[in-house]
Amino acid sequence: MIEVKALVAVFLAAILTENYVLNKFLGICPFLGVSKKVNTALGMSAAVTFVMVIATAVTYPIYMNLLLPTGLDYLQTIVFILVIAGLVQLVETILKKYIPSLYNSLGIYLPLITTNCAVLGVTMLVIEKSSESFGYVEALVNSFGAGIGFLVAMVMFAGVRQRLESCDIPKSIQGLPITLVAASLVSLSFLGFSGLVENMLG
């Protein structure tokens, strides 16, 4: 089926060529702040992926079926952020009540996610792309890919950060500056993927 091929292309593009952290600079705060330990990085990105998919699943129909027909699309920003904030609360409550084991591993990251710009960014970019080719399924796949891309970047960078700990770094670039330089190099390596998806599946 052609459909599947297109979906795979969307998925891979979201992870590699349009990585939300390294290419679009969304979700930089958790990327720089959290990613020192691999476990924390994994938990955080799992929670982000989860919320991204759910948020897109809810905001996309709201925009298409409610805001657009009524001419209220200028309310997109305010509606989306409130929906995301409400959703995160809801997910937290449900997990706490019914799946406590999952809540214990993801729960602490959930409140942080409301203000994570990657989540709001994904829901908005998906709407922006809907004029080109994105239907509901593509939108969901794209947000899932974005979450996985976030995970890949976080885990990779956690490894790099662990190496940095044992390095002898000049005094004035210790701390955040060297972290940013390392991020720059990781992001440089992701530039190598440009054109990959189009040529592989196009």
Partner 1 sequence: MEAVAKKKYNPVKEVTKGIIKENPVLCLVLGTCPTLAVTTAASNAIGMGIAATIVLICSNAVISLLRNVIPDKVRIPAYITIIATFVTLVQMVVKAYAPAIDKSLGIYLPLIVVNCIILGRAEMYASKNPVVPSILDGLGMGIGFTATLLLMGSIREILGNGTWFGMDLPGQIQIIIFLLPPGGFFVFGMLIALASKLSGKKPPKATGCAGCPLSGSCSMMKAEGGESACANCTADDTPEKGGAEA
Which of 11/123 has CB closer to partner 1? 123
Closest Cα to residue 48, out of 155, 165, 187, 143?
A: 143
Compute the distance between CA of residue 82 and CA of residue 84 in angstroms, rounded to an integer: 5
Smallest distance from partner 1 to CB 4, Å: 28
Which of 130/187 has CB closer to partner 1? 187
Smallest distance from partner 1 to CB 5, Å: 27
Smallest distance from partner 1 to CB 110, Å: 9
Which of 97/171 has CB closer to partner 1? 171
Number of helical H runs and strand E runs in the chain:
10, 0
Q: Which residues bind partner 1 (CB under 8 A)?
A: 22-30, 32-37, 40, 44, 74-78, 81-82, 85, 108-109, 111-112, 114-117, 120-121, 124-125, 128, 172-181, 183-185, 187-188, 190-191
Which of 10/106 has CB closer to partner 1? 106
Smallest distance from partner 1 to CB 3, Å: 27
Smallest distance from partner 1 to CB 103, Å: 12
Compute the distance between CA of residue 107 and CA of residue 93 in angstroms, rounded to an integer: 9
| Cβ(135)–Cβ(68) below 8 Å | no
Separation of first and last alpha carbons in the chain:
14
Cβ neighbours of residue 77 closer than 8 Å, sequence gap 6 or more: 124
